[in-house]
Chains A and B, each alone.
Chain A
């Protein structure tokens, strides 16, 4: 069965520092992978997605992610974090079958120090 693991529950970085959030997936075929961000009390917003082609994907708000099939990973990166990036980040993979639902990791909460 498909699954997503986000090993880090909570990460704190200083404003201006670089960021990498880890995501590992389990899926037999080529996965469709997503990163969503959830600000406190809000719904989820799509940051970026991967489904084929170039393994380095650019998203909104200066985020990027790299798909590495050999490591079953899809890590999210940002070169310089802003205080407004403090939020919870979810990695997801599309499940099998025709319904196309997302299977989510447990999320990584990002705190940003001034």
Chain B
């Protein structure tokens, strides 16, 4: 199994541009998450989804949007990129049945906004 895959691995954006970070999992997990990792700050939750068609905001949602039309895919959209969105973005998924279940992480997307 591929697990959680993310594309692209790296991206440089200009201020005001938009892009979509792709995330796909092949484990049939209902729960999916987007985190951002800033240096020395750990990971913070941007958005999450508990199943297809259901999404909600996390701790730092401003400047982002998500959708979940299928169980497998959970894309993250950046509108009007700003330098503050320079970060490493991780997608994760876990099975239903309790928060004790392991979250599986993708390899990350490193985004720079100039």
The answer, yes or no, to whether A82 is at the interface (CB within 8 Å) is: no
Pick the residue among B40, B48, B102 that contacts A9 (CB under 8 A): B40
Q: Which of A43, A46, A51, A106 contacts B42 (CB 8 A)?
A: A106
Does A101 contact B42, Cβ atoms closer than 8 Å?
A: no
Contacts of A32 in B (CB 8 A): 99-100
Of A12-20, A67-75, A92-100, the stretch lying at the interface with chain B is A92-100
In this assembly, does B33 line the interface, its C-beta being within 8 Å of a C-beta of chain A?
yes
A106 to chain B, nearest CB (A): 5
Q: Which residues of B contact A44 (CB under 8 A)?
A: 43, 90, 92, 105
Q: Is B61 an interface residue (CB 8 A)?
A: no
Report A10 CB to chain B, min CB distance, Å. Answer: 10
When distances are taken between beta carbons in the complex, the residues of chain B under 8 Å from A90 are: 42-43
When the two chains form their complex, are residues B94 and A43 in contact, meaning their CB atoms are under 8 A apart? no
* Contact, CB under 8 Å: B50 / A99: yes
Check A46/B102 contact, CB under 8 A, given A100-B31, A104-B43. yes
Interface size of A by CB at 8 A reads: 24
**B7: interface (CB < 8 Å):** no
B75 contacts across to A, CB distance below 8 A: none
Chain A nearest CB from B57 CB (Å) reads 10
- In Å, the complex CA distance between A51 and B94 comes to 16
A104 to B37, CA, bound (A): 10
Min CB gap B68→A, angstroms: 13
CB 8 Å contact bits of A9-52 with B (1 = contact, 0 = none): 10000000000000000000000101010000011111001010
B34 vs chain A, min Cβ distance (A): 10
Residue of B nearest to A93 (CB): B99
Complex CA–CA separation, A45 to B90 (angstroms)? 12
**Bound complex: CA A32 to CA B56 (Å):** 22
| A107→B56 CA distance, assembly (Å) | 26
Q: Does B103 contact A (CB under 8 A)?
A: yes
Q: A43-B106, A49-B100, A98-B50 are in contact. List 12 more A-B contacts (CB 8 A).
A: A9-B40, A42-B108, A43-B105, A44-B90, A49-B102, A99-B56, A99-B58, A100-B98, A101-B33, A101-B48, A104-B43, A106-B41
